[in-house]
Structure 1
């Protein structure tokens, strides 16, 4: 699987005259090599050359994670000696280079300064080339995403009974994260959002020490990671009876979510889907309170291509995966967001999420 992915990458590299791709720890390194690392103060690089060779520059502490048969050579270093000598060995192996592709949106300055020890003409942002490969998910990736979705849905179901007036947002977040871990999540792809009452007007209102009160809506936005793949769900629930205004806002967002989903099919643009949801919210008089794009791609990253937003003319194709998450956020009143994870199919879409979108009163 990883070999075939690298072959596709090399094919695109050749079209752009890229001699070598340098990947840092993160989704792209995992996608092309199967090596799952996090960026840290220790330099770790995967190098893919135009002749389809794979090299690693790696701290010794990470060597046990590697399948040495998967690469042509690994150049390692200890904490005491640092990466300089290993980099020189790598340099001797690969020789002179013209264009080196790097991840401009992921590479740290320290990592870039390290590869300046190689001999090349200039750096090229290889991000667009990689995004072209990762944007369409294969059947194996989609199955892993289904598993990640199952984790978030079952964890939400297990957590709802403990939510009540008098507990804090932090307690709810802790329970959600505990339930996800119990079900196999490798962690959270972003800070868990539990935003109750007036804090619901914060689209990124991560859990605080605020106490939940009766009559409030709570925006619950959280994610799981299963074998590298992310699920990202948002549901908004009520604690006790809520005001007619909040009920109206909830109904509008639900309608926008469902209408946008029904438009999904190959050939439609990201802009058109966003516009479908946005028009419903605008026509209801809440347009200025919908302050973000409709959705974002999801896969090995919580946010990736395609982005469903105004003016984005990208055409949907089979295998694209993304969220649909309209929202309304009214300062000092509250907020509502409802989010599903979708896959574009040959004749429409598959909604990976089955959790009810009817308003739940706890």
Structure 2
């Protein structure tokens, strides 16, 4: 498996040759996962063609990173604030006499003075140092473009994440008859993922009952499913660093004719959007295709977010399918398609699936039935 991650690392290191640089500093956890496959990595990865590749980590996390880092990555440990003066059982050759900034300065200076970084992911302190003191070149946009296009093995990992999340959804739906709370349904979903050896949820799972289904970013609470009504579950898994993202809406119990009709309308909008996705299409076009369906029903004003987004080692990454997005869709991209209609104080419907853009069209890679 390690060789797969190494391919990603080499993609990013190709930017060194492209721009005649000596060092690429990665501060974003997602970029480090992308390059190494390390679960919850700390803290900064330094890539170079003139030096070894270095992972800078705190003394506290040194041995955890040592057990997980690929063999071709060297470790350097630094002191967290206030911990200088302790004597951790770390080889002196792997210990920097200072904090993270000192470690970045030391390692980068050994490898050359033409330095780049992923400033979009840097926190203020590190970003300010890189920008003001090291005068780095920001390669964030280049990294975004590289990560947009998935290799076959990445598609496989994302598919594994989808499979795990769909299994967890089945387990969660099975408890609806027991009149659970929203929190209890989320707990079942999470437990199922962990029993499948997932790294965790891709994001905090959304479980909403009744009028809470009209809140796109709702946080589950203690509301119980004690009478017929709408249910919305927005969910995903993290399997080996790659994520999935899906949503299903359903009516629980008897009745619900109007809600079920709205589900069918949203499903139609999603189908129209998926049919419009192919290489060479601008990213606003699928969004428009969905809105045309809602225009016909005069409900477009209740669709108040973009149609979708890319998914990989981050749950929201490029490309973004939005009304004003001009990016050209390309083979190898994986995006969500998630139209939704939300009537405040009443209910909402969202249906979300993931598609892989092939040489000719969009291929649906989520399998769970859209109409429940």
When normalised by structure 1's length, the TM-score is 0.88
> Which residue among 5, 8, 21 is the counterpart of 1:5?
8
Distance change >3 Å, CA 297–CA 276, structure 1 → 2 = same
> Which residue among 145, 152, 159 is the counterpart of 1:132?
145
Deviation of the 1:138 alpha carbon: 0.5
| C-alpha RMSD of matched pairs (Å) | 2.4
Distance change >3 Å, CA 68–CA 338, structure 1 → 2 = closer
> Which residue among 66, 87, 102 is the counterpart of 2:117?
102
Residue in 1 aligned with 2:89?
Answer: none
> Does the 8 Å CA contact 2:234/2:247 hold for their aligned counterparts?
yes
Distance change >3 Å, CA 303–CA 88, structure 1 → 2 = closer
Q: Does 1:156 align with 2:169?
A: yes
Deviation of the 1:167 alpha carbon: 2.2
> Which residue among 182, 189, 212 is the counterpart of 2:202?
189
Residue 164 of structure 1 aligns to a residue whose secondary structure is helix
Residue in 2 aligned with 1:335?
Answer: 348
Distance change >3 Å, CA 93–CA 316, structure 1 → 2 = same
Deviation of the 1:324 alpha carbon: 0.5
Residue in 2 aligned with 1:171?
Answer: 184
Residue in 1 aligned with 2:88?
Answer: none
Q: Provide the rounded CA distance (Å) in 2 between the counterparts of 1:3 and 1:168.
A: 44
Residue 236 of structure 2 aligns to a residue whose secondary structure is strand
Structure 1: which 5+ runs fail to align?
none
Distance change >3 Å, CA 59–CA 357, structure 1 → 2 = same
Residue in 2 aligned with 1:36?
Answer: 39
Q: Does 1:90 align with 2:107?
A: yes
Residue in 2 aligned with 1:261?
Answer: 274
> Does the 8 Å CA contact 1:265/1:316 hold for their aligned counterparts?
yes
Distance change >3 Å, CA 306–CA 116, structure 1 → 2 = closer
Residue in 1 aligned with 2:76?
Answer: 75
Residue 315 of structure 1 aligns to a residue whose secondary structure is coil
- The CA deviation string for residues 81-116 of structure 1, in whole angstroms up to 9 with x for no partner, is 252664554255235x24x43333321123336658
Distance change >3 Å, CA 288–CA 76, structure 1 → 2 = same
Q: Provide the rounded CA distance (Å) in 1 between the counterparts of 2:349 and 2:106.
A: 55
Distance change >3 Å, CA 205–CA 304, structure 1 → 2 = same
Task: Give matches, 1:20-31, under 5 Å.
Answer: 20-31=23-34
Q: Provide the rounded CA distance (Å) in 2 between the counterparts of 1:192 and 1:340.
A: 15
Deviation of the 1:2 alpha carbon: 4.2
Residue in 2 aligned with 1:298?
Answer: 311
> Does the 8 Å CA contact 2:160/2:239 hold for their aligned counterparts?
yes
Residue 208 of structure 1 aligns to a residue whose secondary structure is coil
Q: Relative to structure 2, which stretch is displaced further, 244-253 or 294-303?
A: 244-253
Task: Give matches, 1:269-288, under 5 Å.
Answer: 269-288=282-301
Q: Provide the rounded CA distance (Å) in 2 between the counterparts of 1:222 and 1:176.
A: 8
> Which residue among 200, 204, 228 is the counterpart of 1:215?
228
> Does the 8 Å CA contact 2:33/2:41 hold for their aligned counterparts?
no
Residue 105 of structure 1 aligns to a residue whose secondary structure is helix
Q: Does 1:147 align with 2:150?
A: no
Distance change >3 Å, CA 254–CA 108, structure 1 → 2 = same
> Does the 8 Å CA contact 1:253/1:328 hold for their aligned counterparts?
yes
> Does the 8 Å CA contact 2:51/2:111 hold for their aligned counterparts?
no
Deviation of the 1:252 alpha carbon: 0.9
> Does the 8 Å CA contact 1:221/1:235 hold for their aligned counterparts?
yes
Deviation of the 1:19 alpha carbon: 4.2
Deviation of the 1:342 alpha carbon: 0.8
- The CA deviation string for residues 126-154 of structure 1, in whole angstroms up to 9 with x for no partner, is 21010111101001001111111111111
Structure 2: which 5+ runs fail to align?
85-97
